[in-house]
Amino acid sequence: MQVFRPAMSSALFWGASLLALAACSDPPRPPAQSVAQAQAAAPVAAPPPSVAVADAPSPITPVTDPGPLAAPPPALPEGDAAPAAQAINQSSLPGAGAPAAAKRAALVRAEVLLARARFSPGAIDGQDGGNLKNAVAAFETAKGLPADGRLTPEVWTALTTADAAPAVVAYVIAPEDVKGPFLASIPTKYEDMAKLDHLGFLSPLEGLAEKFHMDQALLKSLNPDADFGQAGTRILVAAAGPETLPAPVAAIEVDKNQRQVRAFAADGSLIATYPATVGSTERPAPTGTFTVNGVARNPTYTYDPSRLTFGDKSMGKLTIKPGPHNPVGAVWIDLSIPTYGIHGAPDPRLVGKTASHGCVRLTNWDIRQLASGVKKGAKVTFVGVERPPGQKAKLNSASAGSSAQPG
C-alpha cells in the first residue's frame, strides 16, 4: 500500500538504526531503542490509552497490545454434550453424498487444525474457499503429499493424527469482551475516520469473532441463542491456538500469485503460512528481496496527500487513530523498500480475496503471530505476479514456499 504512514504508538521495537516507515507515510525518527529496552519499558498492567507519535522527534511510549485477541479458551468441561461441539470435534472426512452439516463440521475442524499447525486458512468459516485450499496445499507439500489443495483421506489422517485436541471449546464471555466502547459504524472516508478517537469493533460479536479467529456468521451459528453482549454467557468457539511462533523468523516469502505469505526459520524450514492480499494489477507489489526495518504494534495511520498515489488529495494530511478497523490493522511490519510493509486488515473476510495498493495484508491475528517472530533484518522476498480479479492460482509445490531461503 503506498503513501500512508502507520505512526508507532505501542510496542515498537527499534534495531541498531532508526525505523523509517513508509507506505503508510514516514513517521518522525525517535531515538534508537533496542529490543531489550523496549520490552523492559513495556508496562505489564492493563493497557493505557495509546500514545501517538508527535510531529517533532520524541521517544516512543511502549504500551501493551489491546485485547481482545490473546486469551486461550478453556477446554470443554468433562461430560459436556453440546451437539454442535461434538459434531465438529468428532467429525470425519465426509463422502460426496454427505449432508451439508457434516461437510461444514469437517471443514471447521480442518480449518482449526490447520491454524494450530500454522498453515492459516484465514477466518475460520466452515467454507471450502481459496484460502483453505492454499493452506491445505502448503500442508500437503510440507508432508510430501501431492499439492492439490484438496482434503483427501491422506491429508485428513495427517491432520487428525498429529492433533487430536478439540477444535471447538467452551468460552465464558468476560467483562472486557463487552465493555466497548463499540462504534455504530465504520466511516468509509478517511476524513471521517480521522475524527474518531479509536477505530474499534462494532459489537461484542465482532470482537469475539476476531478473538477466536472466526467468521461472525459461524460464531452465531454455533451459538444461535447466545447473548454476545452479556458477560458470563457461555459460548462455543474455535480453539485456534497460540498467537506466537515457535522460532524466530529469518526469511519471509510473499507469493503474489498464490496470495500467500510464508515464514522460514534460519535453517530454511517452514514455520508458518498465511493467506494474504498482495497488491493489484493496477498497483502491483514490488518484486525482489528486501529486509524488515522494524515492527509497530497498534499503529496509527497517516494519510499524506504529498506522497499518495490514491485517494482524494483535497482531504489534506490526516491521522487515523489505532484500532482493529484502522486501515493497517493491528501491526505494521516495515520493509526496506520505501512506502511498503506487511500489515493487518480491518476486515478479515476480505484477506486473500481483494486487491491492495501494493502492501501485504494479513488478518489481524495472523500479522500478530508473524510479528511475534520477526526482527529487524529478516529477509523478505516477493515472488510471482499479481492475479487479475477472479483468476484462480495454480496450486503446486510453491504453495509451501520451497524457493525462499534465509540470507
Q: What is the pLDDT of residues 330-380, one digit of tens each?
A: 999 999 987 789 999 999 998 987 644 458 999 999 999 999 999 999 999
Report pLDDT for 200.
94
Is residue 257 over pLDDT 70? yes
Is residue 325 over pLDDT 60? yes
Instruction: Return d(Cα 343, Cα 370) in angstroms, integer.
Output: 10
Residue type at 220 in one-letter notation = K
Is residue 166 over pLDDT 60? yes
CA distances from 172 to 67, 76, 234, 321, 387 (A): 16, 11, 4, 30, 42
Cell digits of residue 216: 461472525
CA 319 to chain centre: 22
Higher pLDDT, 78 or 112: 112
| Beta-strand pair 301-303/318-320 | antiparallel
Q: What is the percent of the chain with per-residue pLDDT over 90, rounded to a whole number?
A: 58
Helix (H, G, I), strand (E, B) or coil at 347: coil
Is residue 271 over pLDDT 50? yes
Cell digits of residue 389: 480479479
Backbone CA torsion sign across 348, 312, 386, 262: negative
Q: Are 122 and 131 in contact (CB under 8 A)?
A: yes
405 pLDDT band, cuts 50/70/90, is very low
Q: What is the pLDDT of residues 25-79, one digit of tens each?
A: 332 222 333 323 333 333 222 222 232 222 222 222 222 333 334 444 555 554 4
Nearest-10 Cα torsion for 301, 211, 63, 197: 50
Q: Please enumerate in sequence order all residues whose Cβ is within 8 A of that of 158, keeping only pairs 6 or more positions apart, or say none.
A: 139, 143, 145
Average pLDDT value for the chain: 77
Least confident of 58-62, 188-192, 403-407: 58-62
Q: Are 62 and 41 in contact (CB under 8 A)?
A: yes
Report pLDDT for 131.
95
18 CB-contact burial (10 Å; exposed 0-12 / middle 13-18 / buried 19+):
middle
Terminal Cα-to-Cα distance of the chain (whole angstroms) = 25
Global confidence as pTM:
0.79
Q: What is the pLDDT of residues 208-255, one digit of tens each?
A: 999 999 999 999 999 999 999 999 999 999 998 888 999 999 999 999
Report pLDDT for 385.
75
Q: Which range, 16-20, 148-152, 277-281, is most confident? A: 148-152
Report pLDDT for 73.
54
387 pLDDT band, cuts 50/70/90, is low
Least confident of 9-13, 24-28, 108-112: 24-28
Q: What is the largest CA-CA distance in the chain?
A: 65
Beta strands per DSSP E along 233-287 = 234-238, 249-255, 260-264, 270-275, 277-278
Q: Are 277 and 354 in contact (CB under 8 A)?
A: yes
Report pLDDT for 63.
29
Q: What is the DSSP letter of 237?
A: E
Cell digits of residue 288: 525482489
Higher pLDDT, 126 or 390: 126
Report pLDDT for 10.
38
Omega of the bond prior to 181 within 30 degrees of 0, cis?
yes
CA distances from 306 to 52, 144, 166, 285, 336 (A): 21, 50, 52, 21, 20
Instruction: Return d(Cα 376, Cα 57) in angstroms, integer.
Output: 21
Instruction: Return d(Cα 209, Cα 349) in angstroms, integer.
Output: 11
Q: What is the mean pLDDT of residues 96-118?
A: 96
Q: What is the DSSP letter of 220?
A: H
CA distances from 307 to 22, 312, 314, 326, 359 (A): 10, 12, 13, 19, 15
Helix (H, G, I), strand (E, B) or coil at 212: coil
Buried b (16+ CB within 10 A) or exposed e, 213-252: bbbbebbeebbeebebeeeebebbbbbbbebebeeebbbb
Is residue 118 over pLDDT 70? yes
Return the H-helix or E-strand segment holding 297: strand 288-297
What are residue 260's DSSP bridge partners? 255, 275
Q: Are 238 and 168 in contact (CB under 8 A)?
A: yes
Report pLDDT for 229.
97
